[in-house]
């Protein structure tokens, strides 16, 4: 099946919808029109840039270049996790908790899938490795950001309750156990909802893209099932790991609550 090529005019027509939305938002005084337009402009520039980078990478595939691309993706995702939190950890921890959790979960799931499940030759083939890692990092990033934001903000709001539990003899882990559970729910719920609605309420992005590109629907479905399971596992383990590290950072070695390790509201 021949893929229908999109022209700049086609994309401009779609962009007009975003501009119309920004105008409507501005009309109601919601204060989001500027953010909408800036985000739309960033989308165009970033996607065009990554398109050029991937074209070059696919034409000159080499493991060092693929690894460098993956590292850049991880570092940027770590920055986004930190930026999305109202109260983040000070110093290296503000950046390191999310980045380490994403590296452990998303990279592990990606490598296992490339080596064992899909098994392209070579295993780091960029046409498979980069898109797969990108999908896992993007969703894991969101789950970790939501979970950490809920953990730190709730710990701040309930600091008196936590200190009361500590004074009654509870350990640090016991004092924040319910907060960690709720934070984990916040991080995992988007993926649970996405799996529950897939195929009935919505057609997931990867499956839709493959079908539009001419892939047989059932083959696209199989890839989508694989991706959704990987994303869910990566998001889940990444969120749980980040929350474990974050909860430990809230206390010192003597189980004293240390909210001075959190920065004030961001953004």
Same domain flag for 92 and 182: yes
What are the phi and psi torsion angles at 262 (to 5°)? -100, 140
Structural domain includes residue 142: yes
Q: How far apart are CA 19 and CA 36, in angstroms?
A: 8
Same domain flag for 7 and 95: no
Structural domain includes residue 266: no
pLDDT digit string (tens) for 131-141? 899 989 988 99
Same domain flag for 132 and 251: yes
3-state secondary structure 82-125: HHCCCCCECCHHHHHHHHHHHHHHHHHHHHHHHHHHHCCCCCCC
Total tally of structural domains belonging to the chain = 2
C-alpha neighbours within 13 Å on the C-beta side of residue 136: 31
Structural domain includes residue 19: yes
The pLDDT of residue 3 is 64
Q: Which of 78, 69, 67 is nearest to 102 (CA)?
A: 78
The pLDDT of residue 267 is 43
Q: Which of 60, 89, 109 is the last residue of a domain?
A: 60
- The pLDDT of residue 33 is above 90: no
pLDDT digit string (tens) for 168-198? 999 999 999 999 999 999 999 988 888 888 7
Same domain flag for 122 and 225: yes
Same domain flag for 56 and 136: no
Find which of 25-29, 34-38, 204-208 is predicted with most confidence, using mean pLDDT.
34-38
Same domain flag for 240 and 145: yes
Structural domain includes residue 70: yes
The pLDDT of residue 2 is 62
| Structural domain of 189 | 63-261
Same domain flag for 78 and 53: no
Same domain flag for 49 and 147: no
Distance of CA 188 to the CA centre of its chain: 11
Q: Are the C-beta atoms of 211 and 217 separated by less than 8 Å?
A: yes
- The pLDDT of residue 1 is above 60: no
Structural domain includes residue 50: yes
Q: How many Cβ atoms sit within 10 Å of the Cβ of residue 189?
A: 12
Peptide bond into 122 cis (omega under 30): yes
Structural domain includes residue 140: yes
Same domain flag for 17 and 88: no
The pLDDT of residue 26 is 87
How far CA 49 is from CA of 65, 119, 263, in Å, comes to: 16, 28, 33
Strand segments (E) across the chain: none
Same domain flag for 98 and 215: yes
């Amino acid at each position: 099946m021949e893929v229908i090529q999109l022209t700049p005019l086609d994309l401009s027509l779609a962009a007009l919808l975003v501009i119309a939305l920004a105008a409507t938002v501005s009309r109601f005084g919601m204060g989001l029109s500027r953010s909408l337009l800036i985000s739309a402009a960033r989308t165009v520039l970033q996607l065009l840039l990554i398109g050029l980078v991937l074209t070059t990478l696919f034409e000159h595939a080499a493991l060092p270049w693929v690894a460098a691309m993956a590292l850049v993706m991880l570092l940027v995702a770590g920055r986004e996790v930190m930026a999305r939190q109202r109260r983040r950890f000070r110093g290296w921890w503000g950046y390191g908790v999310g980045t380490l959790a994403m590296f452990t979960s998303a990279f592990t799931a990606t490598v296992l899938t490339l080596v064992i499940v899909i098994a392209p030759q070579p295993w780091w083939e960029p046409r498979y490795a980069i898109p797969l890692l990108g999908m896992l990092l993007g969703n894991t990033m969101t789950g970790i950001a939501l979970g950490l934001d809920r953990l730190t903000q709730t710990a701040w709001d309930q600091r008196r309750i936590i200190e009361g539990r500590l004074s009654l003899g509870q350990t640090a882990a016991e004092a924040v156990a319910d907060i960690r559970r709720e934070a984990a729910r916040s991080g995992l719920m988007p993926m649970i909802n996405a799996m529950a609605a897939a195929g009935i309420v919505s057609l997931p992005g990867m499956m839709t893209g493959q079908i539009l590109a001419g892939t047989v629907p059932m083959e696209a479905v199989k890839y989508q099932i694989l991706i959704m399971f990987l994303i869910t596992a990566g998001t889940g383990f990444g969120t749980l790991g980040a929350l474990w590290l974050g909860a430990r950072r809230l206390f010192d070695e003597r189980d004293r609550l240390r909210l001075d390790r959190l920065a004030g509201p961001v953004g």
